[in-house]
Structure 1
Amino acid sequence: MRKRALISVSDKTGLVPFAEGLVKLGYELISTGGTLRTLQEAGLPAIQVADVTGFPEILDGRVKTLHPMIHGGLLAKQDDDNHMAQLDEAGIAPFNLVCVNLYPFKETLKNEDATTAEMIEQIDIGGPSMLRAAAKNYASLTVVVDPSDYEDVLNDLAKDTNDLQARQRLAAKVFTHTAHYDALIAQYFNDQIGNVYPNTYTVTYEKSSKLRYGENPHQEAAFYQAPLAPAHSLAQAEQLHGKALSYNNIQDADAALGMLREFDAPAAVAVKHMNPCGIGCGDDILAAYEKAYASDPVSIFGGIVALNREVTPALAEKLSDIFLEIVIAPDFSEGALATLTQKQNIRLLKLAGVTDRRPVHKLTSVTGGVLIQDADDQPFDRAKAVCVTDRQPTEQEWSDLLFAWKAVKHVKSNAILLAKDGQTIGVGAGQMNRVGAAKIALEQAGDQAKGCVMGSDAFFPMPDTVETAAKHGVTAIIQPGGSKRDQDSIDVCNQYGIAMIHTGMRHFKH
């Protein structure tokens, strides 16, 4: 009996050479719609599915392969005499190879102007059915979903090395592909009805790169990106220079971008181990960077710098003075690139959407599961803040308090951050007690602490942090409030003439 191949593809990349190879190997081609026309226009002897089923395509092509003459040939166990006898009785010939890929649902989803009706028509029914049937029956036939496999499949068929293991590998690829496809459809429908946290949370990611290792050299790792990653995602960045990003680079760069999105004015963020070691805002991007650098000239070495304005030649000269792992910016001037690309080990990433603020969900893996939450991106409303002390903040203090509040939310808890004139001057991150975080920030600030403001990611359980701040000359504090002992901290502020703002919003970051 002549071997039969069923071919129906939306993506016609490499289709004709693959089909030509199958014909040379003695395969009879059965096809549908546009795929059939492509094969026939190439002069290949393809048979339309309707001639096999004895039934025409109906419902504008929605029904064409959903027929026992097709699925019987896909699902029959070809080493089972009973199955083969049933096929023979029904006049059904088995298939030996299936080549299918699906309607471009993801590509249509990228089009923000696509209507619901257009999206619905890109939900493939016959394609997944054929793929799943063939993949289930990989013991009897070969199924191909990825054009990049065409050449290897032809070589294996020609050499008769298309063994069970090879077919199982192709089948696994099919189920991965259809799961990915269905996950996108599920996400689309849940978005349409506003079902943010469904009982079954189905997400899908596409492999972007294999990483050299994970957090440490003994850990394997890879980077996967969302199929429709937002404009501010690191996955959308164009790397202009330098070697591939590492696992830790990606973590740090993502953290830096989250901090940068807090600011509209020219801003620079320096990050080390996912904590800010310096944040600065200025009249221009050079002034902003100089503030970020001055915040902690020691820790910035070997760190990551993210900027929300184009890198100028003058800024590039400053950036090239120290060792930096990565510089991320919406663009780099020609002169800046000429300077920075002289440094072999620096990575330069261009990300036009650094200031995009569309909401996202945050996923954090735990053993055997995942935590999902809204991003901590609710804007701060100064009108809802309450001054709880006798002294009100000055306008300059208010400006610094708002800056500190935006910055401290990106510091690992327990977090204390000191700021002055649009610049971080001390950061206490990830401590087991709040007064310990304050002491670290104040020690880093040194003499600059006098006249600065303090931001705390959560309330003060005791007045010791405020007492420590007062002794170093802190003049205003912003914190959520809500402790049973709030009044103790307020009393200390009043004693030292410190203004304190309660926001009513906590910013824990674990």
Structure 2
Amino acid sequence: MSAPHAADPSLYRERDVIPVRRALLSAIDKTGIVELATALNGAGVELVSTGNTARVLREAGLPVTEVSELTGFPESLGGRVKTLHPAVHAGLLADLRLEDHEQQLAELGIKPFELVISNLYPFAEAVASGAAPLEVVEQIDIGGPAMVRASAKNFANVAIVTSPDRYAEIADAVASGGTTLAFRTALARDAFRHTAGYDVAVATWLGDTLAPDDDSALPAWVGRTWQREASLRYGENSHQAAALFVSAGGNGIAQADQLGGKEMSYNNYVDADAALRAAYDFERPAVAIIKHANPCGIAVAGEGEEIADAHRKAHECDPTSAFGGVIAANRIVTLAMAQSVKPIFTEVIIAPDYEPEALELLQTKKDLRILKLQPGFELPTTEVKQLSGGMLLQESDRHFAPVSEWTLVAGEAAGDATLADLEFAWTACRAVKSNAILLASGGASVGVGMGQVNRVDSCELAVKRAGDRAAGSVAASDAYFPFPDGPEILIEAGIKAIVQPGGSIRDQLAIDTAKAAGVTMYFTGERHFFH
């Protein structure tokens, strides 16, 4: 497909620094617009503006020409049509490096714009507010993106500014004699990123709410944009470059406020996210301690206990591995918990908030990274994993079969306390990399076997880590036992009850092993692989 006109390089005149004589202002976000317009007016720039922005500028005592005066056509259809007119877009798109374009503008009696200030209707904010679909649709901007894209395409001649953060720069450039080509190019890059993110937000909302692709649980199209928030010292290893990117409207580890300590590293973010995932699996006050994305310990507060008790029990699971770990709590960190954490070398602590005295105490540890979640944090409903040439998208593993749906396949029905430990272990083992075995007692992990390539090794590792605490504890396995050797190791260590998914063609061998030992065994009918 050929371009609208042949691009003959010999026809283009060079233009670098372009003085700003005429500016079009159409800002939904009025932050700083009066101050900028005042600076432009002081530099002799003619101001043209749309209705509301023109009103604000006029009230500030600034001379301004409304777009409707320029076009000879009133704003119409409730403001849907105002800048969509040749008198506007010819002034935005005219490439004045070409004599032909310059002549056509003169013949049409249209003056060019050298500067455009525009930001778009607050669509994402309308969605986030829970507004009704009709209200959300009205926040889909048409004229704004058209004006931004036209100006950005013509960056050789026009400077397009979409963020108030750039107002000081543009005012300085105008006062210094004009915008440079390099500056206009960077502004155009930002403008196209701005409209791209806007379009992704609109397309995603339509697919999520008004027009789902099909009956599938997952969409047929996924669009996301990320903005670099911080460059990190390095990645997983010191020879790898890394940066933190955030998504618009996101609320998670990437948006947490850092209240103390050294800057976060790549591995800190990975472990902190894993810790959140583990702690927020529980409704009761819970603490997870993570090292290399695996739990060193997970615990919940019992009856009459608080978050400090959950931390104490989680730490007791594996104090050696907890050294240099990452702690996540799903409740406000109290002074008592802070006093428990302070003597332990910890890389990161993250929680929804901190008591003032707790924060003050933790901030005395200069290297401890203290993160506070934004209000309303919830675990994500979907997960993405990058592949070469694509990605995998899945629903987050947030379902835990309730005890009422379990099947007793061996031994006597567990009493309330044992059943509570089994339920805790079944939830906690989801945070452990497969193959996963987790031993628990009193609402806390006492031994964890993770990431082994066979379930026997995971059983042996969990038992070894638990030591004497294995006797009388319960065990959870994230997937079925393909052979009875795994349960045999657990039973020999003194496990009194086991919960597992079931589903193996050799299930009966595991059941017979438990029956012979008088050990209670439940099947859940679901597994929790975590790779």
Would you say same fold, with TM above 0.5?
yes
Which of 421, 425, 439 is 1:404 aligned to? 425
Other-structure match for 1:216: 237
Other-structure match for 2:299: 280
Aligned positions of 1:29-68 closer than 5 A: 29-68=47-86
Other-structure match for 1:294: 316
Give me the identity figure in percent. 46
**8 Å Cα contact 2:296-2:448 kept in structure 1:** yes
| Residue 317 (1) aligns with residue 339 (2) | yes
Other-structure match for 1:261: 280
Other-structure match for 2:485: 464
Other-structure match for 1:334: 356
CA distance in 2, matches of 1:327, 1:448: 27
Which deviates the most, 64-73 or 144-153?
A: 144-153
Aligned positions of 1:387-398 closer than 5 A: 387-398=408-419
Other-structure match for 1:3: 21
**8 Å Cα contact 1:109-1:119 kept in structure 2:** yes
CA distance in 1, matches of 2:176, 2:418: 77
SS at match of 2:46: strand
Q: 1:78 to 1:291 in 2, by over 3 A?
A: same
Q: 1:158 to 1:310 in 2, by over 3 A?
A: closer
Which of 243, 253, 261 is 2:262 aligned to? 243
User: Structure 1 residue 453: deviation in Å?
Assistant: 1.4
Which deviates the most, 33-42 or 294-303?
A: 33-42
Question: Residue type matched to 1:255 in 2?
Answer: A
Other-structure match for 2:6: none
SS at match of 1:17: helix
CA distance in 2, matches of 1:212, 1:390: 55
Q: 1:311 to 1:123 in 2, by over 3 A?
A: same
CA distance in 2, matches of 1:14, 1:302: 46
CA distance in 1, matches of 2:38, 2:299: 62
What whole-Å deviation, never above 9, does each CA across 1:231-283 have from its counterpart, x for those lacking one? xx224533332233222222212211111122233322111111110112232
Other-structure match for 1:89: 107
Which deviates the most, 46-55 or 13-22?
A: 13-22
Question: Residue type matched to 1:335 in 2?
Answer: E
Normalised to the residue count of structure 1, the TM-score between the two structures is 0.93
User: Structure 1 residue 32: deviation in Å?
Assistant: 0.7
CA distance in 1, matches of 2:137, 2:398: 32
Other-structure match for 1:436: 457
Which of 163, 188, 192 is 2:209 aligned to? 192
SS at match of 1:299: helix
**8 Å Cα contact 2:298-2:445 kept in structure 1:** yes
CA distance in 1, matches of 2:66, 2:374: 47
Q: 1:501 to 1:144 in 2, by over 3 A?
A: same
| Residue 364 (1) aligns with residue 385 (2) | yes
What whole-Å deviation, never above 9, does each CA across 1:197-237 have from its counterpart, x for those lacking one? 3332112334443333322233232223333234xx22453
Question: Residue type matched to 2:200 in 1?
Answer: A
CA distance in 1, matches of 2:20, 2:81: 27
Q: 1:170 to 1:357 in 2, by over 3 A?
A: closer
What whole-Å deviation, never above 9, does each CA across 1:423-482 have from its counterpart, x for those lacking one? 111111111111111111111111211122111111112222112212212222111111
User: Structure 1 residue 107: deviation in Å?
Assistant: 2.5
**8 Å Cα contact 2:116-2:151 kept in structure 1:** yes
Q: 1:91 to 1:147 in 2, by over 3 A?
A: same
Which deviates the most, 154-163 or 419-428?
A: 154-163
Total equivalences in the alignment: 506
Q: 1:340 to 1:432 in 2, by over 3 A?
A: same
Question: Residue type matched to 2:187 in 1?
Answer: L
User: Structure 1 residue 160: deviation in Å?
Assistant: 4.6
CA distance in 2, matches of 1:22, 1:194: 45
Which deviates the most, 437-446 or 245-254?
A: 245-254
Which deviates the most, 329-338 or 95-104?
A: 329-338
Q: 1:93 to 1:161 in 2, by over 3 A?
A: closer
CA distance in 2, matches of 1:301, 1:146: 45
Question: Residue type matched to 1:256 in 2?
Answer: A
| Residue 351 (1) aligns with residue 373 (2) | yes
Which of 143, 149, 162 is 2:160 aligned to? 143
**8 Å Cα contact 1:329-1:352 kept in structure 2:** no
**8 Å Cα contact 2:439-2:473 kept in structure 1:** yes
Other-structure match for 2:147: 130
What whole-Å deviation, never above 9, does each CA across 1:51-84 have from its counterpart, x for those lacking one? 1111111112110100111111111221222333
CA distance in 1, matches of 2:180, 2:357: 57
SS at match of 1:107: helix
What whole-Å deviation, never above 9, does each CA across 1:392-441 have from its counterpart, x for those lacking one? 33333221111110000111111111111211111111111111111111
**8 Å Cα contact 1:415-1:429 kept in structure 2:** yes
Which deviates the most, 75-84 or 426-435?
A: 75-84
**8 Å Cα contact 2:218-2:394 kept in structure 1:** no
CA distance in 1, matches of 2:31, 2:416: 62
Residue segments in structure 2 that go unaligned for 5+ positions in a row: 1-18
CA distance in 1, matches of 2:117, 2:527: 54
**8 Å Cα contact 1:270-1:300 kept in structure 2:** yes
Other-structure match for 2:39: 21
Question: Residue type matched to 1:21 in 2?
Answer: A
What whole-Å deviation, never above 9, does each CA across 1:154-176 have from its counterpart, x for those lacking one? 33344456332221111010010
**8 Å Cα contact 2:277-2:379 kept in structure 1:** no
Residue segments in structure 1 that go unaligned for 5+ positions in a row: none
SS at match of 1:100: strand
User: Structure 1 residue 383: deviation in Å?
Assistant: 2.0
Aligned positions of 1:90-169 closer than 5 A: 90-112=108-130, 114-160=131-177, 162-169=179-186
**8 Å Cα contact 1:391-1:494 kept in structure 2:** no
**8 Å Cα contact 1:359-1:377 kept in structure 2:** no
Question: Residue type matched to 2:367 in 1?
Answer: N
CA distance in 2, matches of 1:16, 1:91: 29
User: Structure 1 residue 102: deviation in Å?
Assistant: 1.0
Which deviates the most, 138-147 or 388-397?
A: 388-397
CA distance in 2, matches of 1:5, 1:72: 14
Other-structure match for 2:476: 455
Which deviates the most, 190-199 or 291-300?
A: 190-199
**8 Å Cα contact 2:246-2:255 kept in structure 1:** no
**8 Å Cα contact 1:408-1:416 kept in structure 2:** yes
Question: Residue type matched to 1:81 in 2?
Answer: E
User: Structure 1 residue 142: deviation in Å?
Assistant: 1.4
Q: 1:194 to 1:268 in 2, by over 3 A?
A: farther
CA distance in 2, matches of 1:217, 1:320: 28
